[in-house]
Amino acid sequence: MKRILTLLFLCGAMVWQSASAQEGQEQPEKKGFDKSKLFFGGNFGLGLGSRSTSVIVSPQAGYRFNDHFAAGAGVNLNYYSFKDFTDIRTSYGYTGLNVFGRIYPVSYLLVQAQPEMNYSWGSVKYPDNHPVDKLKGQFVPSLLLGGGAVIPTGGNGALLLMIQYDVLQESRSPYGNKAFFSMGYNF
């Protein structure tokens, strides 16, 4: 985790240095809100197996302030269900909000921080006639840090390929305790 934080800090410092060095060379930008800098996108995931199901829908909207910085917000809707080898089925649902900030050190790379707050609920169903156990609903904070590649697809569209990690590691985090790969699209 210390290595990830150090890498993010170093990338941020490089972007700051690059932006400072180019300050006098850039063309003056339009002042005020520019709707052409808005972008929409997010992530969608679907996993179906004989013992597990995963559905993820996370739309986001953002604003590209300049070539090096973007920020935005989104919603999270996640459902996970899995059956262990004793046929006990555990299901979790998550819904929440996120905000994100992105730094683009170069055109095709990004570093992202995404704090979010999700409400989690669930149940455990046993194979016999035992009543279903409801899991107590609770708010679960997460802080995703990561980075990846931006692959332009024509016009203002881009495919985002990222590796992310939840540094808070709350027990009911929807992201687990390992780095994970995500793929999204912005248009």
Q: How many CB atoms lie within 10 A of CB 137?
A: 10
Q: How confident is the model at residue 146 (pLDDT cuts 50, 70, 90)?
A: very high
List the chain domain ranges: 2-18+38-186
Say which amino acid occupies 55. V
Q: How far apart are CA 186 and CA 88, in angstroms?
A: 39
Six token digits for residue 9? 């800090």
Longest dimension (CA), the chain: 73
Close Cβ partners of 73 (under 8 Å, ≥ 6 residues apart): 60, 61, 62, 97, 98, 99, 100
For residue 94, give the H/E element and its range: strand 89-106
- Residue 99 CA to residue 71 CA, distance in Å, equals 8
Q: Strand 158-166 vs strand 52-64: parallel, antiparallel, or unpaired? A: unpaired
Question: What CATH number matches the domain at 2-18+38-186, 1.20.1260, 3.40.50, 3.30.160, 2.40.160?
Answer: 2.40.160
Average pLDDT value for residue range 178-183: 92
Of the CA atoms within 13 Å of residue 18, those in its CB half-sphere come to 14
- Structural contact between residues 185 and 39, judged by C-beta atoms closer than 8 angstroms: no
Comparing CA positions, the residue from 153, 159, 166 lying closest to residue 183 is 159
pLDDT of amino acid 109:
97
Backbone angles phi, psi at 18, to 5 degrees: -65, -45
The model's pTM: 0.78
> pLDDT tens across 70-98, in order?
999 999 999 999 999 999 999 999 999 99
Q: What is the pLDDT of residue 32?
A: 84
Q: What percent of the chain is modeled with pLDDT above 90?
A: 66
